[in-house]
Amino acid sequence: MFLNSWLWRSRHLSRSPLLLLRSRSIFLASSCTTELLASQNASEHQHSRKLPSTVPRIRPWWNVSWSSGYRNPSMEAEKKVASGEDSYGNESKQASSTEFLDFPGGKVSYINELQFLSESSPVRVPCFQLLDEYGQVAEHACLPEVDKLLAVKMYRNMVLLQTMDTLFYEAQRQGQFAFYLTTIGEEAINIASAAALSNDDIVYAQYREPGVLLWRGFSLNEFANQCFTNNLDYGKGRQMPVHYGSSKLNYPTVSSPIATQLPHAVGAAYALKMENNPACTVTFFGDGASSEGDFHAAMNFAAVLEVPVLFICRNNGFAISTPTAEQFKSDGVVAKGQAYGMRSIRVDGNDTLAMYATIKAARVMAISESRPILIEALTYRVGHHSTSDDSAKYRKQDEMQHWKMIRDPVFRFRRWLEGQRWWDPEADKQLRSESRKEVLAAIRSAGPLKKPSLSSLFTDVYDSVPSNLKHQEEEVRATVSRHWSDYPSDVPL
């Protein structure tokens, strides 16, 4: 059942029976994303602007501009519906009905048959894809503008990420550091999103997105220093491995509790909005994180406050051992967007070009319209949850192998690159061996470096070191020097 649902997709989205869905959706298939981008940029930045006729109507529940004044927008919505017009000044389909129920939030029409809204749509939300599983351009696909330079850069980064993960994982297994988790299978999500964003966009990651840092210029040495928590670690030895952070690359330090980064991203987006800064925040999370209370809180706030934030869900099928079938009963995470009044899209997370196009379009919408966007990227977690997990206990080996070998996003993108004559097997061999050498060199140089010194135990608890901690540090130093033989000799003081 699980594999079949991944293989389903619709080729004729613009003419499909999906339009019959009672819920309203926005499709990008009938017009190229670049066209949509152009039209978005050209139109006024208001909720009630008229959209070009090539793009199906977007119908928000209500038109609220939070910053334009105080509350009671329900009166606005009521007036508009009563006048027989929809929010775009077009004649409302409901104009013919004269019977309305007056509730806070707007008028609602009557229905005289006892009917429950179904728990699921007759058809699942379709998945946006541009390259098929073999790297061939899909039938009605309109590719984003990606030149050879960008495409090759994306591919090189995906390979480097894959190599780094493989070798660092092995280093953990050898006991060189205590913990690691890989991004294997999700390279396209990492790199394509990073490529579509600007360096001014602030990324609130969960923990499976080091590719974004890699794209932005975090070096292999910097990754290794954090994993080995040596004295060059930016975290000063306080975080577990893979909890990277870089203030200059706009990537706040990874925080372990699940989904806490979601409200943070909303708050940060609010700060950007208040400063009129033309950037957005981007937050990544997994399918499991969508069950946290923080997910609900963040989604609701982002929609109500109208802030520029991209919620990118990496739906990779598992939350440690919990499969998505046991995580939620909705149609994945994309279906929840509309419940919060938020625009959303489902995209093939293993399709580099589709991810790139989606994030690029979403970013423009988020910033120009100051609204949040939800993106559900479907993918598969090829590796174990982390080095503390053995996923063979809850899934079949051949399923993992299938996704690793046959449905590898890196290989899929490579097929397309080779089809474009932008890449060849010789270059690939060279790239892989170079990457391997670089990663091993980083591991070899980070390992032997000294650990952080004793003073880093006490700094940064507060902005300035308080007297009680200064006192404690003196006591510890005195104790260590009195009982030198009780302490390891390689702990720098």
Q: Contact residues for other proteins (CB under 8 A)?
A: 66-67, 69-71, 202, 204, 233-236, 238-239, 243, 245, 247, 252-253, 255-257, 260, 262-272, 274, 281, 293-294, 296-298, 300-301, 304-305, 459-463, 466-468
256 given a catalytic annotation: yes
CB of 259 to other proteins, least distance (A): 9
CB of 469 to other proteins, least distance (A): 8
- Six token digits for residue 5: 């649902």
Q: Which is nearer to other proteins, 260 or 420 (by Cβ)?
A: 260
Question: What Å distances lie between residue 159 and 46, 155, 202, 377, 430, CA to CA?
Answer: 42, 6, 24, 20, 11
Nearest to 209 by CA among 167, 248, 246, 156: 246
Q: Which is nearer to other proteins, 130 or 266 (by Cβ)?
A: 266
391 given a catalytic annotation: no
Q: Which is nearer to other proteins, 153 or 296 (by Cβ)?
A: 296
Question: Of 87, 386, 391, 435, which one is the catalytic site residue?
Answer: 386
CB of 16 to other proteins, least distance (A): 36
**Cα–Cα–Cα angle for 220, 224, 230, rounded to 5 degrees:** 140
Cα distance between residue 160 and residue 162, in whole Å? 5
Question: What Å distances lie between residue 75 and 49, 78, 105, 182, 266, CA to CA?
Answer: 20, 5, 8, 51, 27
Nearest to 5 by CA among 378, 321, 256, 485: 378
CB of 243 to other proteins, least distance (A): 8
Question: Of 145, 170, 326, 475, which one is the catalytic site residue?
Answer: 170
CB of 255 to other proteins, least distance (A): 7
Cα atoms in the Cβ-side hemisphere of radius 13 Å centred on 315: 25
Angle between helices 352-369 and 409-419 (to 10 degrees): 100
Q: Which is nearer to other proteins, 66 or 328 (by Cβ)?
A: 66
Question: What Å distances lie between residue 443 and 6, 214, 220, 335, 456, CA to CA?
Answer: 37, 16, 8, 43, 23
Q: Which is nearer to other proteins, 100 or 234 (by Cβ)?
A: 234
Q: Which is nearer to other proteins, 69 or 175 (by Cβ)?
A: 69
Question: Of 83, 120, 219, 256, which one is the catalytic site residue?
Answer: 256
CB of 183 to other proteins, least distance (A): 21
CA 267 to centroid of chain Cα atoms: 17
16 given a catalytic annotation: no
Q: Which is nearer to other proteins, 195 or 203 (by Cβ)?
A: 203
CB of 133 to other proteins, least distance (A): 38
β-strand 318-319 against 322-323: which pairing, if any? antiparallel
- Six token digits for residue 119: 């728990």
CB of 484 to other proteins, least distance (A): 27
Q: Which is nearer to other proteins, 106 or 267 (by Cβ)?
A: 267
170 given a catalytic annotation: yes
Residues with active-site annotation: 170, 256, 385-386
